[in-house]
Chain A
Amino acid sequence: MSSARYIKNEKDQILDVILESGIHVKPVYTPKDLEEIGFSYEEDLGDPGKYPFTRGIHPLGYRSRAWTTRQYTGFGTPKETNERFKFMISHGQTGLNVAFDLPTQMGYDSDDPMAEGEVGRVGMAVDTIRDFEIAFEGIALDRIGVGLTINAVASIILAMFQAVAEKYGYDPKTVSATPQNDILKEMIGRGAWIFPVEHGVRLVGDIIEYSMKVMPKTNPVSVCGYHIRESGATPAQEIAYAFLIAFAYIDNVCKRGYDPDEFVGGITFNFNVFGNMWEQIAKFRAARKLWARLLRERYNVKKERNLFLRGIFGGGGYGLTKAQPENNIVRGAYYALVAALSGAQTTALCSYDEAYTIPTPHSALISLRTLQILMDEAGLRDTVDPLAGSYFIETLTKQMEEKILEEMEKIEKYGGIIKAVSEGYIQRMLARQAYEIERAIERGELLKVGVNIYVEGEPKEVQLHEYNEESARMQIESLREIRRTRSSSEVKRTLKELEKATRDGKNVMPYLLECCKAYCTLGEMTNVFREIFGEFQEPSLF
């Protein structure tokens, strides 16, 4: 999709290009542009692996290690999901990213009335650690990193993950999980929040604090600009808000008396790739540079490797269309190319059936192959940061840097990210932007192939993933079985202790771990929190 606006004359000649972040692109860039922005190789770029890491965090880039592929996977029962994990791994996928169903994300057990009709529908259903035992059966948890896309109840799910890893004989020190654990962006634009802001942030802090001690290879947070962008943010806003959110989490942990150098290395990011490709590439390069610089300036972080901006740069779903769905395969290829040119550590793509339903094995495999083609066939592993030195890219990178800082400043002026999120300042702005984007597409100001140009008639039917109600029934059955067979006194005892620890402001993780081992359900643990914390008040619109 053209996310940029093109000003043309009657002869279809382009007079101006305005990127989403507000930057005007010139027809030609020359050494003069670099001179104008005061470009310096040492200060603005540095060699790959050297501060400020604009060119990447590793000196040899993909030569030493190709990116990790991590298609978002999960549906139905843990057994079905386990099979799909193995299918993806057998085809060369190198990491996992678990999709949970909505009851799990919202802290409801599969037999809760609130879960009706939703169990296993858009992700894997999880009630107790039994489900994790099944889901990760036969997966080498010391070799395969596991992304857990879970936020409001990330603490519970991470505890389950640790319990299962231990059960399968892995030392928690060796397993690498990445719980998404970014509650503020849920409130901005993903909607799977439960508790009020301050309690939500406390739980994020608990996970960071706990991981640094018990699971040092785990990345306790993946701060998501991705979802903010999918809610209508510009690329500059995407990065700006993500950074501010990350700072809010860092502040929470610093208040507990830790030195940033002890934990900031565990903070990773999830950013989005769709829209004008140059703007995205410049965005990633600018983000890497800014992150390193801001950590140094604001937190006095000393260790070089703690300054790395690491994360997943994944193809965005909003760019994909319902019309002419096969075109999405091509779009995905371009998104992946952008991710590779930007030096992504980890990547994933939404599949061509994105606008219809969650992927089939067929569509997921096409996405995986797209990524593999880039690394193994097309030459993206040849050399690090191949675009460095381009008059255009370097100018744009510098301009993006400024735009990101501007957006950060706006929020800080408003009173900070916590205030802006609690009061809905950002949400209102994004909703308005989303509306304007939709109108601009309809007016043909933003071009979208198959949607407002080169339109065909009725869409072809694509083969789709079908929801299996039988899976939900089986999940509920298995949950009931566990409720019958577990020790109810252990359940009571561990929940009671969790409650006390939560009220006393202790780190909840060790208590959750005990609950998980006693086969407490996700819903039972969440209810302890609900009772004490209450619920987030969604800010009103407009």
Chain B
Amino acid sequence: MEEKRIKVLIAKPGLDGHDRGAKVIALALKEAGMEVVYSGLHKTIDQIVNMAIQEDVDVIGLSIMSGAHIPLTRKLMEKLKEKGIQDKKVFVGGVIPSKDIKLLKEMGVEGVFPGGTPIDDVIEAIKASVKK
């Protein structure tokens, strides 16, 4: 049936090799009826932006456990701006200290989901953000 489906890119930027959380989220979003592209490990921000454009996703979700979430997210936001992309919502999950959440949101990140977040909260937030 033709109808709007939410399409999400779950991306692993940088050299981080943790994929348990990213895969759990990817699977959860699929089960929640979304179309999910998984980037695979070790992607550069350029590769991620390129994927997001070609796949025309509604949401870019970064999963970052390496502690490098600030520089990586900043780079993503800059790249998106440079390419004139405004319609894609950015979410960040992983090991994110609470003091960094504000900083990430100031960069334009729509939602931050550190470890321990119930999966359904992630699903709801993505659904709500795409409706907006």
Residues of chain A whose beta carbon lies under 8 Å from any beta carbon of chain B: 102-103, 105-106, 108, 114-118, 121-122, 186, 189-193, 230-232, 321-323, 355-357, 431-432, 434-435, 438-439, 442, 451, 461, 464, 467, 538, 540-542
Contact = CB atoms under 8 A, between A and B. Distances in A.
A314 B20 CA distance: 20
Contact of A357 (B18, B23, B67): B67
Contacts of B20: 189, 230-232, 431, 434
A464 B97 contact: yes
Interface in B79-132: 95, 97-98, 114-116, 118-120
Contacts of B34: none
Contacts, number: 91
B119 A357 contact: no
Given A191-B17, A434-B24, A435-B27, 8 more contacts: A102-B66, A106-B15, A117-B72, A118-B14, A118-B66, A431-B24, A451-B116, A467-B67
Nearest to B96: A356
Pick from A122, A230, A451 the residue with the most CB of B within 10 Å.
Answer: A122
A511 to B, nearest CB: 26
Contacts of B72: 117
Contacts of B116: 321-323, 355, 451
B95 A357 contact: yes
Nearest to B71: A117
Shortest 10 CB-CB distances between A and B: which pairs? A191-B17, A117-B71, A102-B15, A431-B23, A117-B68, A435-B27, A322-B116, A538-B40, A192-B17, A106-B15
Contacts of A230: 20
A205 to B, nearest CB: 23
A174 to B, nearest CB: 34
B23 A191 contact: no
A356 B115 CA distance: 9
A435 B24 contact: yes
Interface string B1-45: 000000000000011111110011011101000000010111010
Nearest to B12: A191
A111 to B, nearest CB: 15
Chain B interface size, under 10 / 10 to 19 / 20 to 34 / 35 or more:
20 to 34
A64 B120 CA distance: 53
A538 B40 CA distance: 7
B27 A357 contact: no
B30 A102 contact: no
A121 B67 contact: yes
Contacts of B70: 117
The A contact surface, by secondary structure, is loop
Contacts of B18: 191
Interface of B: 14-20, 23-24, 26-28, 30, 38, 40-42, 44, 66-68, 70-72, 95, 97-98, 114-116, 118-120
B41 A122 contact: no
A438 B119 contact: yes
A339 to B, nearest CB: 23
Contacts of A323: 116
Nearest to A450: B116
Given A121-B67, A434-B24, A538-B41, A191 B14 contact: no
Given A121-B68, A230-B20, A322 B114 contact: yes
26 contacts: A105-B17, A106-B42, A115-B15, A116-B71, A117-B14, A117-B71, A117-B72, A118-B68, A191-B19, A191-B42, A192-B15, A193-B17, A232-B20, A321-B116, A322-B114, A355-B95, A355-B115, A431-B27, A434-B20, A435-B24, A435-B28, A438-B28, A451-B116, A461-B98, A464-B97, A541-B26
A329 B68 CA distance: 27
A542 B28 CA distance: 12
Given A186-B17, A192-B17, A541-B26, A442 B41 contact: no
A232 B95 CA distance: 18
B116 to A, nearest CB: 5
B119 A439 contact: yes
A431 B24 CA distance: 7
A106 B14 CA distance: 11
Contacts of B118: 442
Contacts of A464: 97
B96 to A, nearest CB: 10
A153 to B, nearest CB: 13
A442 B14 contact: no
A278 to B, nearest CB: 25
A103 B14 CA distance: 10
A438 B16 contact: no
Contacts of B38: 540-541
Contacts of B67: 121-122, 357, 467
Contacts of A355: 95, 115-116
A118 B40 contact: no
A435 B72 CA distance: 26
B41 to A, nearest CB: 5
B23 A435 contact: yes
Given A106-B42, A117-B71, A451-B116, A542 B14 contact: no
Contacts of A322: 114-116
Contacts of B68: 117-118, 121
Contact of B16 (A108, A191, A538, A540): A191
A189 B105 CA distance: 31
